A = this chain, B = another copy of it.
Amino acid sequence: MNPVEMIRKKRSGGALTEAEIEFLIAGYVRGDVPDYQMSAFLMAVYFQGMSDRESACFTETMLHSGSIVDLSSIPGVKVDKHSTGGVGDKVSLILAPMVAACGVPVPMISGRGLGHTGGTLDKLEAIPGFRTDLSMKEYVEVIRETGLVLIGQTPEIAPADRKMYALRDVTSTVESIPLIAGSIMSKKLAEGIDALVLDVKTGNGAFMQTEKESLALARALVGIGAAGGKPTAGLVTSMDQPLGQAIGNWWEVVESVECLRGKQVPDLMDVTLALGGLMLKLGGKASTMEAGIELCRSAIWSGRAYEKFLQIVSRQGGDTRAIENLPAYPPSLNRIEVTATDSGYVHAFKTREIGVLATELGAGRSRVDEAIDPKAGIIVGKKIGEKVEAGDVLAVIMTDRPEAAVRAADAYRSFVGIGREPVAVPPVIRWYVDIHGVKPYSRNDVYPAG
């Protein structure tokens, strides 16, 4: 067993055996395989990829580098959702209580935002008092009591991935489908889940900008889930414009609460209900995804989803008065209305740039150790397909940073493409992916998920 030979084998397009992958990853975690060999190996993987068997074994080895939560004492089929991340993606905040309210336990370990995307943890922490740093013992207690739990990564979970991700970040080896898939799945499989639903974003605000890449990642994730014995299915959804209207941590909580109380935000709720339907299908509470969607709808209109949200906020230390009285939240120093200078129809967004702008307003981080301003953000007024008259409000921007405030309106305006001709509202859900393959998404299908 020689790391140099393994790097050479991968470099030359060969496939490593399970024993070789275990040797390499376990040796790396122990410190026997140095960073410089691992980074050369990762770059070779970037160019040569991994076979399905290698991917599955790579993920398993990272998974077993740490603890795997045992939720077998919790009744029911535990199902989580993972999103590859985007701008305005607050789906988890609505989805988790909605699905839990339908009787499927949701153990959810989330990340923080970095770069142009937000993170579920930062959004939850915008709620005064909300604790995401539960111990593993509390994690099991909370899901047992409430049917869901929302926490951040703990040091026990997949330490190999944490060490490897830090290395990938500084060696330009992040953008590799088998490495991304292994990183995601090693953490998800450690949560104690029985099944997993994926929201793989595609478009100019996503990490994977083309449908081809997004589908390849979705297939890789589904394959690893299946190899790990956890039924996995997913949707490829559009990130060619922000999802919903709110961008920024507190504002995304506000929009989520409004949706839980029944507000119709078409693209956001289309994605949330479809993922919810799939989770209920995989969780054994609905015979089809369609039937699952209907159960989710009833959890919303009955108020049970909102009640579940209040319950988890309270259980994890959050102040439910902030939720029940949204306007009482402290305002930003600057509130800027961005008005249109042209008339026409919204054709396109530079979505990634809007995410970066939100970060500059204080809503995100460009370094992991930066602080976040939860009330900084953007409310998107006009979305793709909407008619605009000169002078209409395109968006409202909130920030405490005076310099960002000066530039923000012109910047935002430059990120919205307005054309003369009307355009159709593009479908937000594009593809359905499971172990049987890929098909175009259509609400009228009955999906044979699982």
| Chain A residues within CB distance 8 Å of chain B | 3-5, 7-8, 11, 34-40, 42-44, 46-47, 167, 169-173
Residue on B with the closest CB to A38? B36
Residue of B3, B5, B34, B39 near A40 (CB, 8 A) is B39
A167 to B36, CA, bound (A): 8
Instruction: Please give, as numbers and ranges, the residues of chain B lying within 8 Å of A36 by CB-CB distance.
Output: 34-36, 38-39, 167, 170-171
**B46 x A172 contact (CB < 8 A):** no
A39 to B36, CA, bound (A): 6
**A170 x B4 contact (CB < 8 A):** yes
A367 to B36, CA, bound (A): 21
**A207 CB, min distance to chain B CBs, angstroms:** 14
**B47 x A7 contact (CB < 8 A):** no
**A40 x B171 contact (CB < 8 A):** yes
Instruction: Please give, as numbers and ranges, the residues of chain B lying within 8 Å of A3 by CB-CB distance.
Output: 170
A414 to B395, CA, bound (A): 79
Contact status of A43 and B4, CB under 8 A, knowing A35-B35, A36-B36 = no
**A171 x B42 contact (CB < 8 A):** no
A36 to B36, CA, bound (A): 4
Residue of B37, B47, B169 near A39 (CB, 8 A) is B37
In the complex, 30 of the A-B residue pairs with CB atoms within 8 angstroms, ordered by the A residue number, are: A3-B170, A4-B169, A4-B171, A5-B172, A7-B43, A7-B171, A7-B172, A8-B172, A11-B43, A11-B46, A11-B172, A35-B35, A35-B36, A36-B36, A36-B38, A36-B39, A36-B167, A36-B171, A37-B39, A37-B170, A39-B39, A40-B40, A40-B42, A40-B43, A40-B172, A40-B173, A43-B43, A43-B44, A43-B47, A47-B47
**A172 x B43 contact (CB < 8 A):** no
Instruction: Please give, as numbers and ranges, the residues of chain B lying within 8 Å of A47 by CB-CB distance.
Output: 43, 47
A37 to B170, CA, bound (A): 7
**A277 CB, min distance to chain B CBs, angstroms:** 39
Residue on B with the closest CB to A48? B47
**A48 CB, min distance to chain B CBs, angstroms:** 9
A173 to B38, CA, bound (A): 13
Instruction: Please give, as numbers and ranges, the residues of chain B lying within 8 Å of A37 by CB-CB distance.
Output: 39, 170-171
Instruction: Please give, as numbers and ranges, the residues of chain B lying within 8 Å of A8 by CB-CB distance.
Output: 172
A38 to B34, CA, bound (A): 13
A173 to B36, CA, bound (A): 11
Instruction: Please give, as numbers and ranges, the residues of chain B lying within 8 Å of A40 by CB-CB distance.
Output: 39-40, 42-43, 171-173
Instruction: Please give, as numbers and ranges, the residues of chain B lying within 8 Å of A35 by CB-CB distance.
Output: 34-36
**A141 CB, min distance to chain B CBs, angstroms:** 40
In the complex, the 3 A-B pairs of residues with the closest C-beta atoms, listed nearest first:
A43-B43, A40-B171, A35-B36
